[in-house]
Chain A
Amino acid sequence: SAVISQKPSRDICQRGTSLTIQCQVDSQVTMMFWYRQQPGQSLTLIATANQGSEATYESGFVIDKFPISRPNLTFSTLTVSNMSPEDSSIYLCSVLGQGNTEAFFGQGTRLTVV
């Protein structure tokens, strides 16, 4: 299994500001995934971050709104830019386990935008 440290665990932010969420993994991984869980909704993939290349964004998500960094094989950041109350969600980073048979998640960042 992989141990994923994600921070901050929660934050309350003013609209129009940006928040950067960090994700640290205890082992080297090729792909890291960022998910969002809006209230009452399922987890939705935002983007896939590969080291050394630009992140791949899912439909409905754009780099200007959710810039991602992946400086090395154990670390990634997701920034939520120019926040609005609609961005209030839980954001989770995830990696695939050995053998790519299941995904492991960080504890999540609960973001509230006021």
Chain B
Amino acid sequence: DQQVKQNSPSLSVQEGRISILNCDYTNSMFDYFLWYKKYPAEGPTFLISISSIKDKNEDGRFTVFLNKSAKHLSLHIVPSQPGDSAVYFCAASADYGGSQGNLIFGKGTKLSVKP
């Protein structure tokens, strides 16, 4: 049973518009959520994170929203740029940084930003 779900395998957006990537989770023990971006032939790179005590975190063009009651988070990219085209992974953890450090990943959403 997948604990972290990204139900959209792909998303296509026009340059300059907003990209919204969604992620749902089932484990109420998750207290930390992260988004990673992955280009082909490269490892995932950290993008942005949010703690469960917050409902929003913003970093430049990237904003992550967390709705704990719905067990849902989303990543907003605005404005979208062609260089944002990549696979985006949602990840979650319980007791992050503790003895586990285990991240549970979704399957990823491939974002294509068209010029």
Q: Which residues of A contact B (CB under 8 A)?
A: 4, 6, 9, 31, 33, 40-45, 48, 58, 92, 94, 96-97, 99-108, 110
**Most chain B Cβ neighbours within 10 Å, of A40, A42, A94:** A42
Chain A residues whose CB sits within 8 angstroms of the CB of B42 once the complex forms = 107-108
Residues of B contacting A: mostly = loop
Q: A48-B102, A96-B101 are in contact. Are A102 and B43 (CB under 8 A)?
A: no
Q: Which residues of B contact A (CB under 8 A)?
A: 2, 4, 34, 36, 41-46, 49, 89, 91, 96-98, 100-108
Q: Evaluate contact between B89 and A43: CB separation under 8 angstroms.
A: yes
A42 to B107, CA, bound (A): 4
A99 to B36, CA, bound (A): 18
Q: Evaluate contact between A43 and B44: CB separation under 8 angstroms.
A: yes
Q: Evaluate contact between B43 and A106: CB separation under 8 angstroms.
A: yes
Q: Evaluate contact between B103 and A43: CB separation under 8 angstroms.
A: yes
Chain A residues whose CB sits within 8 angstroms of the CB of B36 once the complex forms = 105
Q: Evaluate contact between A102 and B46: CB separation under 8 angstroms.
A: yes
A99 to B32, CA, bound (A): 13
9 pairs of A and B residues whose beta carbons are closest in the complex: A100-B97, A105-B43, A42-B105, A43-B105, A102-B46, A42-B107, A107-B43, A108-B43, A105-B44
